[in-house]
Amino acid sequence: MQLDSARGLKRALIETVLTPFVSVGPQVKILAVPAGPVAGVSPVQPSIAVGIGRKAGHEFQIAVRCQRRELMTGKEVEQIRRKAKNEVDVRYIGPVSKRAAPWTQLRHRPLQIGISTGHVKVTAGTLGAFVRKRGGTDPHILSNNHVLANENRAKTGDAIIQAGTYDGGADPADRIAALAGMARLRKTEPNAVDAAIGKLDDALEFDPRTIRGLGKLAGLGAAFVDEGTEVAKLGRTTGLTRGRVTAFELDNVVVTFDIGPLRFDGQIEIEGADDGPFSRGGDSGSLIVEANTRLAVALLFAGTEAGGENDQGLTYANPLRSVLDALKVDLVAE
């Protein structure tokens, strides 16, 4: 058949014969999803995939790929054969599964920098660092407001879990902390930080210094972070990445949140150092350190899909000293 006919038939087959597979089946998890409310992630099919293959020359046919052997002789494939007048190439490809989850998306005890976490109603973000309230002794975890406090909507005491909901975590089995404070996100005036803390549950072990694959966190870096500074982060989605500061003291960074567009002033901008992005959705809350000294300089919270030397997007981060001052906490790095 001609290519246009094959395309039309393929669309029709998906809408008719394969409808049952689109509405049932286990939930498929996308790797890079921004930290936000869990609702709104659609369930998707396993089982039968339909596409277009070349038969010979300019002749095309419907390509059918089955993940289970019994589907090869099932009624759906039979219907497809009939509707395509047998111009079909049916193959068994075996189960297609998501690759093994990265280390950062797994459950970890003791807790470490760079692993999946979030408020129970949030998909998943990243545990940035461990902090203590000034004058206090209780350990807390640090991440973004939109990761731990669901964009102002959470209440003090709400459960924070590790791994995050999107990575299979649940309350109470995976609860690690209770929301203890946030810098409220403001809609009508510029924000400086997107940050919140959760008080760690009693007797929970944590390692406040190891940044897996990079080394030990050395402490708090200088307030001034110049253009060209080489940085690194360990995050829930893209893992350990390296980057370079492309701008600082960036004002009027208008960022899309669920609660609307919010303006941030005084931000740090970073590009990926290699071929890939420095960050993607789910990396929010990552602690950003100077790559050579491993001194902490910023808290990751947003990004774009375009821009930067490699055009893989730019990352935006709050200066860490602003974050610590806003929450009245100090970094734990010993």
Q: Which residues bind other proteins (CB under 8 A)?
A: 34-36, 125, 144, 146, 194, 226-228, 237, 246-258, 267, 269, 279-284, 300-307, 313-316
We find the least distance from the C-beta atom of residue 168 to other proteins, in angstroms, to be: 20
208 or 221: CB nearest other proteins: 221
In this complex, which beta carbon is closest to other proteins, that of residue 17 or of residue 253? 253
Name the minimum Å distance from CB 285 to other proteins: 9
Rg over alpha carbons for the chain, rounded to the nearest Å, is: 24
Q: Smallest distance from the beta carbon of 27 to other proteins, in angstroms? A: 21
Q: How far is the CB of 206 from other proteins (least distance, A)?
A: 24
Distance, in Å, from the CA atom of 238 to the CA atom of 286, rounded to the nearest integer, reads 11
Strands 159-161 and 206-207: unpaired
Interstrand relation of 139-143 and 129-133 (parallel, antiparallel or unpaired): antiparallel
With respect to other proteins, which residue has the nearer C-beta, 52 or 240? Answer: 240
Burial class (CB in 10 A: 0-12, 13-18, 19+), 315: buried
* Token digits of residue 63: 């390509």
Between residues 139 and 277, which has the closer beta carbon with respect to other proteins? 277
Q: Measured from the CB of residue 289, what is the shortest distance to other proteins in angstroms?
A: 18
Q: For residues 57 and 261, which CB has a smaller minimum distance to other proteins in the complex?
A: 261
Phi, psi values for residue 243, rounded to 5°: -150, -175
Contact between residue 119 and residue 131 where contact means Cβ atoms under 8 Å apart = no
Residue (of 60, 59, 33, 65) closest to 46 by Cα position:
65
